[in-house]
A and B are shown apart, each in its own frame.
Chain A
Amino acid sequence: MGRVVKGTLVGVLALVALPMLVVVVASFSAGETLTFPPAGFSVRPYLDLLDDEVIRVALARSLFVGGLVVALAVGAGVPASIALVRYRPRFRLGFTAYLLLGITTPLIASAFAFLVIYTRAGLIGRLWPIAVAITVANLPFLMFSVASALATLDPHLEEAAATLGAERIQTFLLVTLPGMAPGILSGTIMIFVLGISEFLISLILSTVATQTLPVAIFGSLRGPVPPTLAAAAGLYIVIAFMVVGVLTSLRTTEQFFYRND
């Protein structure tokens, strides 16, 4: 029994590592086209990446979209999460289910809906509507993160602040917000990564003038694949590692904040 479990575990770990390994190894290949295993190794793909106008512009677009997604999601998601936790607990279950529905709706369906709306409104060909669409599709991830942080906050903290002489706005800024900060931060990072790597919605809503990085990579895959693309994918993996790093250290921050002895 134990051997089977261990074997399965090793298999799963290998499966998770495999695509990353392939991408990272391939991203260092020398030569004009991407082959695996590479004939030789070089850092040129990464240097080329920086030189490649299309990729560079696409990366800049992705970062812009990611930033806008964060701004929109935090601006709308944090107050909405507070409302979700603090008011009308009767509706909480229904509302949570509704939000889950937002996540589980196939992206292709939401993308199609946005395409219809944007075409009518004449918004195709601009970047910010893509960010709006990505925000709508991914907002629940941030809300769950913020809401769970808020739900674990001792409700007496705010009452204590009130007895100590803090007005509601002071209580919110000095007590509630710092208490939710770990949840807001992890939700923000999560939705930023979702924003810069989102593919399907961007593909359907973008034109040549608004290609984000994932769409640009996808476009290049149709011809002979240059190693630069693997380097671009490698970049995402680096970002993913940084995010995981930050999130795990945040987990400890959270325990640090709310340790129960």
Chain B
Amino acid sequence: MGASDPRRDAAPAAVASDRPIVELVGAVKRYGEVAAIAGVDLQIRPRELFTLLGPSGSGKTTILRAIAGLVDLTEGRILIDGRDMADVPTFERNIGMVFQSLALFPHMSVFDNIAFPLRMRRRGRAEIARRVQEVLDMVRLPDIGRRRVHELSGGQQQRVALARALVYDPKLLLLDEPLGALDKRLREEMQLELVRLHGEIDVTIINVTHDQVEALMLSDRIGVMEEGRLVQVGTPEEIYRRPATRFVAEFVGRANLIDGVGEDGGDRCRVVTPSGVAVTVADLPGGPGAEYTAALRAELIDLRRPDEASWPHRLEGTVALRVFEGESLYYEVSVPGLERPLRVASRRRDLAVGDPVAVEWDPEEVAVVAADGP
């Protein structure tokens, strides 16, 4: 547990000083006609928690499996610690991996499961006993070694799988959606546990998920995948605030996407839909005249009654749906000229279905994405 290691909340620049621990160069994996990975270049920095985020079938798990050596690339290279992995079999890569199904050995006790990688490395009995106990303490399951795997709860099994993947101190830990099967509360608990472990031990984590909340919460950096391609790599904040494509804007967070043509409207730029609805934005990256998508985040816009004057950046409509969500309320507002109602997460509770409202926003908070190519 290197005390001198940079904490995970250190500036990314400090983490990025070393050469990449994992590097994908022009990685392609084809199954017949279908490309599961369609040309990916990616560099993972030492000690970061990197999340591959994307819908199912986007190729994120294939990338993870290729790094582990469970899938051979059709083209391109994978380097770990600068070494080409083409001829290195999985069992020599010294990588920790937690599978979606956890893949705990059902015929072994918890102790034997965790001792398995140490026995493969021909460690001595005393060392094995000591290390297994250490790692069980680390995942906070100290008294569980003699139990059978099926006697454990789902959350305990997660921790055992994690312990088994960490007991031999791999530099790289791969997580293939292991939290997917857990219920929401347990999942959040395990996510925090991961963040804690990542802070405690010297390991680089590559996490795969389709859960954008998990990705935003856990990651130092996120890579968003779409159809075998890495469409954007950045910090959670960059991904959330400055999506590179319409797909990213739609996939991450709860956004209202409004497609239109960029116009220079005096002191403010606008994206104007064919039906004439104008959305004020901070700037147009490709200049006026081009096609854009404005992404209005449901959490970053707010509702006013039409007479409560404030920003000029607003659209007027009527409340079509009001749903209580606990910490906030979820509204849908029909705006004349927009095909879909605007989705708004607001703290206001005094608006009812049918009320006329104005939807307002700070143009700085609106992400503007150049329309995807034809």
Listed in ascending order, the chain A residues whose CB lies under 8 Å from chain B are: 154, 156-157, 159-167, 170, 174-175, 178-179, 181, 256-259, 261
Q: How far is the CA of A179 from the CA of B103 in the complex (A)?
A: 12
Which 4 pairs, one residue from A and one from B, show the smallest C-beta to C-beta distance? A160-B103, A165-B120, A164-B117, A156-B103
User: Are B70 and A164 closer than 8 Å at their CB atoms?
Assistant: no
The residue in chain B whose Cβ has the minimal distance to the Cβ of A163 is B97
A157, A170, A178 interface centre (most CB from chain B within 10 Å): A157
Question: Is B91 within 8 A of A167, CB to CB?
Answer: yes
By a CB distance below 8 angstroms, the chain B residues around A259 are 150
Q: Which of B68, B100, B106, B121 is the one whose CB lies under 8 Å from A165?
A: B121
Find out whether the CB atom of A159 lies under 8 angstroms from the CB atom of B99. Answer: yes
Q: Please classify how large the interface on chain B is, using the bins under 10, 10 to 19, 20 to 34, 35 or more.
A: 20 to 34
A181 to chain B, nearest CB (A): 8
- Inter-subunit contact A166/B120 (CB<8 Å): yes
B256 at the interface (CB under 8 A from A): no
Does B96 interact with chain A (Cβ within 8 Å)?
A: yes
Closest to A259 in B: B150
Look across to chain B and name the residue whose beta carbon is closest to the beta carbon of A174. B116
Distance of A162 from chain B, by nearest CB (Å): 4
- A-B contacts at CB below 8 angstroms, number: 70
- Per-residue A-contact encoding for B95-118, CB less than 8 Å = 1, 0 else: 111011101011100000000110
Q: Using Cβ atoms and an 8 Å threshold, which residues of chain A touch B120?
A: 164-166, 170
Expressed in whole angstroms, the Cα–Cα distance for A261 and B68 within the complex equals 28
Contacts of A170 in B (CB 8 A): 120
> CB < 8 Å: which of A166, A178, A257, A258 contacts B91?
A166
With A164-B120, A166-B91, A261-B150 in contact, do A178 and B107 touch (Cβ < 8 Å)?
A: yes
Q: Is B245's beta carbon under 8 Å from chain A?
A: no
How long is the Cα–Cα vector from A204 to B288 in the complex, in angstroms? Answer: 94
Q: Is the pair B107, A165 in contact by a Cβ cutoff of 8 Å?
A: no
Known contacts: A259-B150, A261-B154. The answer to whether A160 contacts B107 by CB under 8 A is no
15 A-B residue pairs with Cβ-Cβ distance under 8 Å, sorted by A, are A154-B101, A154-B103, A156-B103, A157-B106, A159-B68, A159-B99, A161-B116, A163-B93, A163-B95, A164-B120, A165-B117, A165-B121, A166-B91, A175-B105, A178-B107
Say whether B68 contacts A163, CB under 8 Å: yes
Indicate if the CB atoms of A165 and B99 lie closer than 8 Å: no
Q: Verify A156–B101 contact, CB threshold 8 A.
A: yes
A156 touches B106 (CB 8 A): no
Q: Which residues of chain B are within 8 angstroms of A175 by Cβ–Cβ distance?
A: 105
The 8 A CB mask of B76-96 against A (1 = contact, 0 = none) is 000000000000011111111
Q: Are B96 and A163 in contact (CB under 8 A)?
A: yes
Name the CB-closest residue of A to B99. Answer: A156
Any A CB within 8 A of the CB of B330: no
Q: Which of A159, A181, A258, A261 contacts B103 (CB 8 A)?
A: A159
Other A-B pairs, 6, CB within 8 Å; known A159-B99, A261-B150: A163-B97, A164-B91, A164-B120, A179-B106, A181-B107, A257-B150
A161 to B105, CA, bound (A): 9
